[in-house]
Amino acid sequence: MKYISTRGKAPELTFEDTMLTGLARDGGLYVPSEIPTLSQADIAAMEGQSYEEIAFRVMRPFVGDTFSDAEFRGCIDRAYAGFGHTARAPLVQLDQGHFLLELFHGPTLAFKDFAMQLIGQLFQTALTRRGERVTIVGATSGDTGSAAIEAFRGLDNVDVFVLYPHGRISEVQRRQMTTPTESNVHALAVDGDFDDCQARLKDMFNDFEFRDAVKLAGVNSINWGRVLAQVVYYFSSAVSVGAPHRKVSFTVPTGNFGDIFAGYIAKRMGLPIDRLVVATNQNDILDRCLKGQGYHKGDTVPSISPSMDIQVSSNFERALFDAYGRDSTAVAQLMDELKDGGFDVSQGAMETLQEHYDSGRASEAETEATIATTLKNTTELLCPHSAVGVKVAGDHRITGTPMITLATAHPAKFPDAVKKASGIHPPLPPRMEDLYERAERVTRVANDLAALKDHIKGHIAQ
């Protein structure tokens, strides 16, 4: 299995090198040169299998000979052993034909743990074998950062720096990143928004001198391994509601487009997915684009679902690559236009996108109302991101096709917004009860590439 860049000018890589490389050297994102498929019989055989077994069967074809079967199975087993639910990703029925996929039973209470816990194991195995160390830098709107710190803290061969937008994440999210005591993890509060953090991260990858000097690696969803691990729960959940014998639709609270793109990969692999519904908050650039209005950046408006306060949706580049018939020149041109504010999508590419994706948005008031009504009707307490999904799913139901909405975070990560909407203050799990008493360690930094690079160079272990 080979991986190619969406911009066509970076070397083809193996799975291992793709995973350790992060952003392609031409600024693009790596994707598999072809998508392996599973037969209907392969998918039907997943019924009743453990999450770990389904994970092995879904991901194995993408990994090539990077890991032996035994190594790969070991990584998967260790990755999910610490989850707080034996099903790992349990399905809860909300009403007739509408299901919630709870993806928040991992160590940091968000769906990011599914990929990050696995990536942590895969990095460790590959780096130990190669005798190498890397510097991981991540950009986060709240959840990727804590998941990355949890997955890599205390490891000998990795330093982790996480850039988050100062004052724009919840207190629980911040404390999850600033309270770990291991010296190889560093939280950096950037004066800017998430798009600034992500842009500076990409600047670092595009600065080859810096990139090579610190052996930069990325664990944002620019890393193909992140997307791949998220494909698994589309299979596990769809099979539970009748796939491959019936079609299933998914609604996905969306920001950086990694999670919904994983759903698209599942569909390309043969999972009978009818609609993939992109659900955005008031930062609705993706909804507007998928409705044919072009991709044009505006200002990010802080919301009660802060993890989705994003204008430059990184993985949309992967969706565009396929929609433009894998024309890397066209994609590179669009990404150049994006630097100047945005681009229009060609009619052909738009039709291809709309074949797979629907979209909708939820206002702040609709998000709050959905938290309240869902609690009243079902006893499920949603986080604001999951509530965006549930609201939008409600607008896209088709009789006879089950709809699965992804619940991407635990409500306790956003207690203020949840309390305001529901009257309930969701408690943290017992292992995190003292989060508010733990000492914080964080460095405030300007939104300035040189300052960030200096800080990182000065704090990596030699």
> Catalytic residue positions?
112
> Encoding tokens for residue 122?
């895969």
Separation in Å, CA 50 to CA 106, 311, 445: 16, 37, 44
Nearest distance, CB of residue 421 and ligand PLP, angstroms: 16
Number of residues forming the site for ligand LJ64HWYM (CB under 6 A): 13
- What is the full DSSP assignment across 197-225? HHHHHHHHHH-HHHHHHHTEE--STTSHH
Residue 367: name its binding partner from ligand LJ64HWYM, ligand PLP, none (Cβ under 5 to 8 Å by kind).
none
Q: Which helix (H) or strand (E) holds 184?
A: none
Query: Is the Cβ of residue 254 or residue 303 nearer to ligand PLP in the bound state?
Result: 254
Query: Is the Cβ of residue 232 or residue 409 nearer to ligand PLP in the bound state?
Result: 409
Helix (H, G, I), strand (E, B) or coil at 154: coil
168 binds ligand PLP (CB under 6 A): no
- What is the full DSSP assignment across 355-368? HHEEEEE--HHHHH
Query: Is the Cβ of residue 184 or residue 313 nearer to ligand PLP in the bound state?
Result: 313
> Encoding tokens for residue 401?
């096709």
Nearest distance, CB of residue 258 and ligand LJ64HWYM, angstroms: 4
Q: Are 184 and 154 in contact (CB under 8 A)?
A: yes
The one-letter amino acid code at 84 reads G
117 binds ligand LJ64HWYM (CB under 6 A): no
Interface with ligand LJ64HWYM (CB under 6 A), residue from 18, 108, 221, 249: 221
Interface with ligand LJ64HWYM (CB under 6 A), residue from 117, 125, 176, 220: 220
Interface stretch with ligand PLP, choices 182-190, 248-256, 357-365, 446-454 (CB under 6 A): 248-256
194 binds ligand PLP (CB under 6 A): no
Query: Is the Cβ of residue 205 or residue 257 nearer to ligand PLP in the bound state?
Result: 257
Separation in Å, CA 339 to CA 199, 312, 398: 10, 10, 38
- What is the full DSSP assignment across 250-293? EEEE-SSSHHHHHHHHHHHTT--EEEEEEEE-S--HHHHIIIII
Interface stretch with ligand LJ64HWYM, choices 65-73, 143-151, 270-278, 451-459 (CB under 6 A): 143-151
386 binds ligand LJ64HWYM (CB under 6 A): no
Separation in Å, CA 282 to CA 157, 236, 285: 40, 30, 9
110 binds ligand PLP (CB under 6 A): yes
Query: Is the Cβ of residue 176 or residue 359 nearer to ligand LJ64HWYM in the bound state?
Result: 176
280 binds ligand LJ64HWYM (CB under 6 A): no
CA distance 382 to 389: 10
Which residues lie near ligand PLP (CB under 6 A)?
110, 142-143, 221, 253-259, 307-308, 385, 408-409
